[in-house]
Amino acid sequence: MFVILTYDVGEKRVNKVRKHLKKYLIWTQNSVFEGEITDGKLKKCLSELNHILNREEDSLYVYEVKSPKFITKTIYGQEKNIDELFL
């Protein structure tokens, strides 16, 4: 399935969360990751994230679409690059 994952986490945890998500999805912008992922891998990713996140402060939104053919993406302005994020 295709997944869009957005997060809003405390500053202390941002890098850890990004590094973790990079293993499973593609970074697109600021606090947004996306990509094709299996159900099993998504569950693994989220269960590992659970140990990093502070549930009292952080939030994570996961949008799941059964197939990428149901979704279209349009980019306006600059397309950000992953290198920029990890400089």
The nearest distance, CB 21 to its own copies, in angstroms, is: 13
How many CA atoms does the CB half-sphere of 72 hold within 13 Å? 1
Closer Cβ to its own copies, 19 or 81, answer by number: 81
The nearest distance, CB 22 to its own copies, in angstroms, is: 17
For residues 29-46, b (16+ Cβ closer than 10 Å) or e, as one string?
eebbbbbebeeeebeebe
- Return the structure tokens found at 30: 């600021």
Residues at the contact surface with its own copies, assessed by CB under 8 A: 4, 6-8, 28-32, 46, 49-50, 53-66, 70-80
Query: Annotated binding site for Mg(2+): which residue ranges?
Result: 8
Query: Annotated binding site: which residue ranges?
Result: 8
